[in-house]
């Protein structure tokens, strides 16, 4: 039996635009998906998944039978989650040159499903690590990131960047621009996450931006402007001392850029009333800045605030189901046992 875990992430800047070759800066957070893999004597796959939302629910299936969770997630999202697990298994079989390997797989996740915190990437990264180790093969973090990207790419019909999977495999803050992926050293940024209890459909949201961008030149310009925000933000991060607490100036500047980024994502049609209301609640509580994180449509926002004010205000916001501080996870994928 092998157990591996990998972190979720928030986007400081750059989601959606990263799909079109602009840079993005996602940051891994200390909320993990843990995948337990047991090799089987036959070639069957049996999956048990638990706690795929912050509330927690159970989905158990073997073969095609799935018991639906009673939570507010779009139709098909659980199937999509199982699609990611299947894709991870295919990558592990390929990496270990064991096309007929069968597994019993258990997924336990602290990351809400489809809510912008990189749940699918974390499951795929941890799943590939655990399944390959179970077959006696140890992959580098770079290879896990690459294989996890290919798994996401297949499940999302070619509409995926390397951002989520690279960030989950490596941990820390990362910078992704096309195939160029690297870690960047940052001070410990004070992230606060607000969760509306819902989820968005990444494929649909990415397709919506693609159509808008194809139809209107100004939508294409908006995507490029998000890239400009990322470039401005990363300059500030490079100037900062990663071993010290972030300065007030740095937080103010990053916050202003996050606000700007959220405005452009809203213009691209990927925000929602609940996300906007949580963003405004965070700003009014004194956060340095706030924006949606991930594909949007519902799910989570991320704010910057070193005090408890934003978290408290979010908890009293009607649209917010949960709010929590999210520490930067510097470790990435790891084997647990
Ligand atoms: C989803 O977490 C982030 C998107 O930019 C899609 C991707 O990068 O693959 C919307």
Percent of the chain whose predicted confidence (pLDDT) is above 70: 91
pLDDT given for residue 68 in this prediction: 44
Say how far apart CA 114 and CA 120 lie, in whole Å. 8
Say whether both 14 and 160 belong to one domain. yes
Which of the listed residues 185, 205, 240 is the one where a domain comes to its end? 185
pLDDT given for residue 79 in this prediction: 65
Say whether both 181 and 195 belong to one domain. no
Element spanning 278, H or E: helix 273-284
Domain count along the chain: 2
Listed residue (197, 268, 209, 260) closest to 233, CA to CA: 260
ipTM metric: 0.98
State pLDDT tens for residues 116-172. 999 999 999 999 999 999 999 999 999 999 999 999 998 888 888 999 999 999 999
Contact call for residues 165 and 26 (beta carbons, < 8 A): no
Name the one residue in this structure whose structure tokens are 């647990």. 336
Nearest 5°: phi and psi at 214? -70, -30
Say whether both 181 and 200 belong to one domain. no
Mutate to test the pocket of ligand 1, among 202, 226, 275 (most ligand atoms within 8 A of CB): 202
Q: How far is the CA of 131 from the centre of ligand 1 (A)?
A: 25
Q: Residue 154: how many CB atoms within 10 A of its CB?
A: 16
Residue 111 in domain = yes
Say whether both 125 and 208 belong to one domain. no
Check pLDDT > 70 for residue 44. Answer: yes
| Residue 81, domain extent | 2-185
CATH number of the domain encompassing residue 49: 3.30.230.10
State pLDDT tens for residues 173-214. 999 999 999 999 999 999 999 999 998 988 899 999 999 999
Contact call for residues 23 and 81 (beta carbons, < 8 A): no
Single out the catalytic residue among 164, 201, 261, 305.
164
Residue 335 in domain = no
Contacts of 6 (CB under 8 A, 6+ apart): 32, 33, 121, 122, 123, 125, 126, 129, 168, 169, 332, 333, 334
CATH number of the domain encompassing residue 205: 3.30.70.890
Q: How far is the CA of 209 from the centre of ligand 1 (A)?
A: 11
Say how far apart CA 108 and CA 35 lie, in whole Å. 6
Say how far apart CA 83 and CA 152 lie, in whole Å. 9
Say whether both 149 and 207 belong to one domain. no
Q: Assess whether 97 carries a catalytic annotation.
A: no
Listed residue (204, 238, 237, 206) closest to 223, CA to CA: 206
Residue 17 in domain = yes
Listed residue (294, 270, 336) closest to 133, CA to CA: 336
Contact call for residues 124 and 82 (beta carbons, < 8 A): no
Q: What is the mean pLDDT of the chain?
A: 91
pLDDT given for residue 61 in this prediction: 46
The pLDDT-based confidence of 334 (bands split at 50, 70, 90) is very high
């Amino acid at each position: 039996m092998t157990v591996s875990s990998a972190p979720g992430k928030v986007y400081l800047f750059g989601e959606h635009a990263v799909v079109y070759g602009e840079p993005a800066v996602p940051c891994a957070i200390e909320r993990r998906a843990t995948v337990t893999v047991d090799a089987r004597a036959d070639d069957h796959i049996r999956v048990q998944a638990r706690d795929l939302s912050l509330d927690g629910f159970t989905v158990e299936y073997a073969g095609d039978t799935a018991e639906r969770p009673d939570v507010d997630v779009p139709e098909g999202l659980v199937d999509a989650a199982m699609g990611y697990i299947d894709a991870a298994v295919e990558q592990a079989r390929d990496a270990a040159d064991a096309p007929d390997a069968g597994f019993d797989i258990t997924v336990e996740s602290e990351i809400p499903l489809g809510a912008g915190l990189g749940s699918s990437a974390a499951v795929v990264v941890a799943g590939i690590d655990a399944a390959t180790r179970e077959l006696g093969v140890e992959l580098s973090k770079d290879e896990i990131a690459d294989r996890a990207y290919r798994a996401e790419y297949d499940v999302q019909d070619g509409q995926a960047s390397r951002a989520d999977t690279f960030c989950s495999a490596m941990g820390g803050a990362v910078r992704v621009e096309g195939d160029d992926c690297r870690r960047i050293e940052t001070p410990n940024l004070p992230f606060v996450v607000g969760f509306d209890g819902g989820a968005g459909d990444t494929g649909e949201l990415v397709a919506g931006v693609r159509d808008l961008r194809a139809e209107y030149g100004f939508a294409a310009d908006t995507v490029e402007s998000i890239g400009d925000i990322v470039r401005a933000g990363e300059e500030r991060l490079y100037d900062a001392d990663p071993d010290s607490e972030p300065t007030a100036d740095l937080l103010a500047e990053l916050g202003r850029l996050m606000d700007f980024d959220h405005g452009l994502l809203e213009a691209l049609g990927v925000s929602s009333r609940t996300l906007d209301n949580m963003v405004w609640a965070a700003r009014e509580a004194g956060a340095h800045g706030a924006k949606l994180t991930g594909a949007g449509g519902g799910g989570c926002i991320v704010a910057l605030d070193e005090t408890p004010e934003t978290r408290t205000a979010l908890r009293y916001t009607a649209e917010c189901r949960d709010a929590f501080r999210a520490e930067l996870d510097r470790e990435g994928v790891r084997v647990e046992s």
